[in-house]
């Protein structure tokens, strides 16, 4: 195999090393192109994980090799391109040619990584995490105790009003209290004390506000 013979041990080690690094879904192939005039069987001289494409030592190369040997494709090397097996599995492939001192291709290393399972997993993940298919209107926060729930609701009430307590008018505070009432804040034990403290009002005022907002809701 011309100069490729001198490097066969290194190339075999390289083929095996790449396959070991990326696992059983990664096929790595070494082809001998020194007898390219007989482009048929016998081109594959080393192969790891041949089950990926169903090939074995002694089988032939692909159509891309013909283009390189014919001179139609001068560059030859192709990196990270998509291919497909006869049974429809998708591969991520790289082809690299070994040339002699005259630039003539005498060998080739091909890497074919089966990404079919990864693509299926990606599709499933996208389906499961597509926010366009998930109801994002529901606001649920997981906390450790009921006081955290109340604190969260009070903050939401302030966001609902759109201003800090220091700048709230009576109407703003009633709007916030209405929000808290609708969210069930007053079902929390002793919530009235914390809400009064937050808004800077007495319990008497709080209950007056509550009576007013509930009467408008028909509660």
Q: Which of 78, 96, 116 is a domain's end point?
A: 116
Whether residue 189 has pLDDT greater than 70: yes
| Rounded-to-integer distance, Cα 106 and Cα 100, Å | 7
- Which domain range does residue 170 map to? 146-217
Q: Report how far residue 210's alpha carbon sits from residue 178's, in angstroms, rounded to the nearest whole number.
A: 7
Note whether 169 and 63 are same-domain residues.
no
139 assigned to some structural domain: no
CA distances 211 to 154, 173, 175, 177, 200, Å, are: 19, 14, 13, 11, 18
Q: Are residues 158 and 103 in the same domain?
A: no
**Total number of domains in the chain:** 2
Residue-level pLDDT at 142: 67
Q: Does residue 27 carry a pLDDT above 50? A: yes
Residue 108 has pLDDT above 90, yes or no: no
């Amino acid at each position: 195999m011309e100069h490729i013979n001198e490097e066969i041990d290194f190339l075999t080690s390289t083929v095996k090393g790449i396959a070991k690094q990326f696992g059983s879904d990664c096929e790595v192939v070494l082809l001998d192109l020194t007898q390219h005039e007989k482009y048929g069987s016998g081109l594959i001289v080393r192969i790891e994980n041949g089950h990926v494409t169903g090939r074995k030592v002694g089988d032939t190369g692909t159509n891309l090799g013909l283009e390189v040997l014919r001179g139609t494709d001068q560059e030859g090397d192709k990196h990270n391109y998509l291919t497909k097996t006869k049974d429809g599995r998708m591969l991520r492939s790289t082809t690299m040619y070994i040339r002699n001192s005259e630039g003539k291709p005498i060998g080739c290393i091909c890497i074919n990584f089966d990404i079919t399972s990864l693509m299926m997993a990606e599709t499933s993940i996208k389906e499961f995490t597509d926010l366009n298919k998930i109801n994002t209107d529901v606001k649920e926060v997981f906390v450790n105790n009921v006081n955290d729930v109340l604190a969260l609701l009070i903050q939401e009430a302030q966001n609902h009003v759109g201003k800090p307590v220091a700048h709230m008018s009576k109407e703003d505070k009633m709007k916030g209290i209405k929000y808290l009432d609708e969210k069930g804040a007053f079902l929390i034990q002793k919530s009235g004390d914390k809400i009064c403290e937050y808004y800077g009002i007495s319990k008497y005022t709080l209950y007056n506000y509550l009576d007013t907002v509930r009467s408008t809701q028909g509660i």
